Amino acid sequence: MRTPSPPPARLRPALAAAFGAAALFLGSRAAPADDLVAYFVPEAPPELSLPDPHGHRHQFPDYRGKVILLNFWASWCSGCAREIPSLRTLRQRLEGEPFEVLAVNVEENPFRVDKFTRLLAMPFPVLLDRDGAFFNAWGAQVLPTSYLLDVRGQVRYRVWGPLDWASDDVMDVVRGLLAEPRPDAGPARAIAGPGAADTRVSGVPER
């Protein structure tokens, strides 16, 4: 396999921060569910309109009524690759539920993305943020960064860095969102982007 190209210059400072955080995770272990941060007030996300490597464009209304795990990643990001198996496991465990993972690749060539996703067997939609505009709209700083959206399309949780998405604690959080009442109206109106999240699950203090 060819050596991945270096990250875009815009993301290198963020990548350095990400590697610093990743150093806290030993071996192949990702962060525990305590790093999943909840929003005191749910927020509407930036508008989504991104293609997949085959040219099909995806928007949030396509997934109305589903819990969405939005994951920003890149092939050169070791933490991203480390959490993909747990993302795959979570998706498989929730097969048949109104749940979807949307894996948004940041600033990479579609051919590279398609090859990488086939190699790692990513069984969920992979979207292309070619210029990083969608990544920026969320105010994200490091890769991976992930957000959980509820059935009403509002942002409820976020995590910076790799997470063990297959853990029981994370599964409980996702199932809690799935158990909430389905919306009886359209999706939440999009705003510029979600602000800082406010508290963590499991009673862990704020940063």
At 176, give phi and psi (nearest 5°).
-65, -40
Q: Is the pLDDT of residue 206 over 50?
A: no
In this predicted structure, what is the pLDDT of residue 8?
52
In this predicted structure, what is the pLDDT of residue 25?
36
Q: Is the pLDDT of residue 191 over 60?
A: no
pLDDT in tens, 25-70: 333 344 445 689 999 999 999 999 999 998 999 999 999 999 999 9
The whole-angstrom distance between residue 39's C-alpha and the CA centroid of its chain comes to 15
pLDDT in tens, 119-147: 999 999 999 999 999 999 999 999 999 99
H/E element, 83: helix 78-93
Q: Is the pLDDT of residue 22 over 80?
A: no
Question: Which tops the pLDDT comparison, 199 or 38?
Answer: 38
Sign of CA dihedral 73, 7, 207, 155: negative
- Distance CA(143)–CA(187), nearest Å, equals 27
Domains and CATH numbers, the chain: 31-202 (3.40.30.10)
Answer yes or no: are the C-beta atoms of 90 and 101 closer than 8 Å. yes
Residue ranges of E strands in 90-167: 99-106, 126-129, 145-149, 155-160
Instruction: Give the amino acid at 24.
Output: L
At 78, give phi and psi (nearest 5°).
-65, -35
Instruction: Give the amino acid at 161.
Output: G
- Distance CA(82)–CA(163), nearest Å, equals 9
Sign of CA dihedral 95, 68, 13, 4: positive
The whole-angstrom distance between residue 181's C-alpha and the CA centroid of its chain comes to 23
Q: Which residues pair with 163 in a beta bridge?
A: 31
In this predicted structure, what is the pLDDT of residue 192?
39
Q: For the chain, what percent of residues have pLDDT higher than 70?
A: 72
Question: Which tops the pLDDT comparison, 183 or 200?
Answer: 183
